[in-house]
Amino acid sequence: MPSGPPPDAWQRQPTKADDRKARARKVFVGVYDRSIDDNGRLALPSSFRVDLGDRCYATLDPQGCVTLRTAAVFESEAAEVIEAVKREEAAPGVRRSLATNTTAVAVDKQGRLTLDEKAREFAGLVGAGTAMIVGNLNTIELWRPSRYETVATEDDYEVAPRVWRDE
């Protein structure tokens, strides 16, 4: 009878690098205008639907939008926050803030999701009629169009000189 660890102990265990690679696979880009009804329902662009899956997490972002993360990205980031608090690299309030400002959101087969009233009010989407859906690489942002235009213009002034500088 062979001795040693059981066969599954020989299998390679996932590493943090594997986790980063998995998170990097899903990239969301582009800006889309979508209608949002009085109940907070909006349809995602078809290019986002497959990668987002049937469940995501919606977080109230300090910039004034709602940020959507895939379940895998959110769960990984939440684990990082938990560990940072344990190592005393982050205050316990960071963990609490992430948890209390995030909700799980279902995505239906037509690629629609429903934002709760708190999220709609926070992002200024109540009665807006239109939401801007902005791909931000590994996240998706939901904006009131007028807010997005202001933030995007400010970002352009700050980023453009560094990105487009003459060499």
Question: Would you list the domain boundaries of the chain?
Answer: 28-163
- The mean pLDDT of 62-88, rounded to a whole number, is 96
pLDDT digits 0-9 by tens, 6-34 = 544 444 455 565 555 554 468 999 999 99
**CA distances (Å), origin 45, targets 29, 67, 112, 132:** 11, 15, 9, 11
The domain made up of 28-163 has a fold known as Chemotaxis protein chec (3.40.1550)
The two tokens of residue 144 are: 């009131």
> What is the distance, to the nearest Å, from the Cα of residue 45 to the centroid of all Cα atoms in its chain?
15
- Give percent of the chain above pLDDT 90: 69
pTM confidence score: 0.78
Banded pLDDT at 148 (limits 50, 70, 90): very high
